[in-house]
Amino acid sequence: MTVSHVLLPLAAYLIGSLSGSLLLGKLRGVDIRTQGSGNAGGTNAFRTQGAKFALGVLAIDVSKGVLATWLGLAYAPPAGREALPYVCAFAATLGHIWPVWHGFRGGKGAATAMGAIGTLWPIALPGLLALWIASLILTGYVGFSTCLAALSFAAAALVVGGDAPRTLFAIAIAALIVFTHRANLMRMRAGTESRFEKAMLLRRWTRRHGA
């Protein structure tokens, strides 16, 4: 193990700890952890601050996943060239969830993981996004749709095989996303989870046309 094996994941974690919603919130004079669901992620940013604010949050959170993963790809020593980018990607996601700069209270990791996946396995990203959108349209549950996409990512990595670091990363990310959304899943099971009604286009269409 070299110094790079420690410093690169640490740098990735610190990059991941830069929360988009909290950084932009400071410019607006708000802390979204005191509003809505109390989560510092893009969904709560959208519900409490609006679409423009949420798009800014999403851009930052996805970009830091890309940057942290790129560090692993660009500077990994020969001995860790295959696995270290995945370690950096996972470290950045951990930083987003438990950010050292913000009292270890961050988001749920999906946007940063998406940036990492798009960098490490770009061919998988369109399918995952399509599945997420389809699930959201049909169910209206953001958390459930995110978990479904994450589990599908793990399943795809297992089916394709041939890349052990990628498979381990996919399984770890899926487990982490399900863990951070556990309260959403519990509320969904209890029938108390909020739906994103505006995204349920099929239901809105059938209501409009009396189907």
d(CA 72, CA 8): 6
Residues 63 and 149 in one domain: no
Give the count of domains, the chain: 2
pLDDT tens, position by position, 38-49: 888 888 888 888
The better pLDDT of the pair 112, 35 is held by: 112
Is it the case that residue 168 has pLDDT exceeding 60? yes
Is it the case that residue 211 has pLDDT exceeding 80? no
Please indicate, yes or no, if residue 115 is contained in any of the structural domains.
Answer: no
Please indicate, yes or no, if residue 114 is contained in any of the structural domains.
Answer: no
Residues 141 and 104 in one domain: no
Residues 57 and 143 in one domain: no
Last residue of a domain, one of 76, 108, 140: 108
Residues 74 and 156 in one domain: no
pLDDT tens, position by position, 190-209: 999 988 877 675 565 566 65
Structure pTM? Answer: 0.90
d(CA 39, CA 146): 15
pLDDT tens, position by position, 78-100: 877 899 999 999 999 999 999 99
Residues 125 and 183 in one domain: yes
Mean pLDDT of 130-155: 95
Residues 97 and 159 in one domain: no
Residues 170 and 69 in one domain: no
d(CA 58, CA 142): 15
Residues 19 and 97 in one domain: yes
Q: Which domain does 55 fall in, by range?
A: 1-108
Please indicate, yes or no, if residue 66 is contained in any of the structural domains.
Answer: yes
User: Which among 108, 74, 106, 68 has a CA at the least distance from the CA of 88?
Assistant: 68
Please indicate, yes or no, if residue 116 is contained in any of the structural domains.
Answer: no
Residues 92 and 140 in one domain: no
Confidence at residue 2, expressed as pLDDT on a 0 to 100 scale: 76
Is it the case that residue 73 has pLDDT exceeding 60? yes
Is it the case that residue 162 has pLDDT exceeding 70? yes
Please indicate, yes or no, if residue 194 is contained in any of the structural domains.
Answer: yes
Q: What percentage of the chain carries pLDDT values higher than 70?
A: 92
Calculate ∠ Cα 65-77-175, nearest 5°. Answer: 40
Last residue of a domain, one of 108, 135, 165: 108
User: Which among 73, 111, 68 has a CA at the least distance from the CA of 90?
Assistant: 68
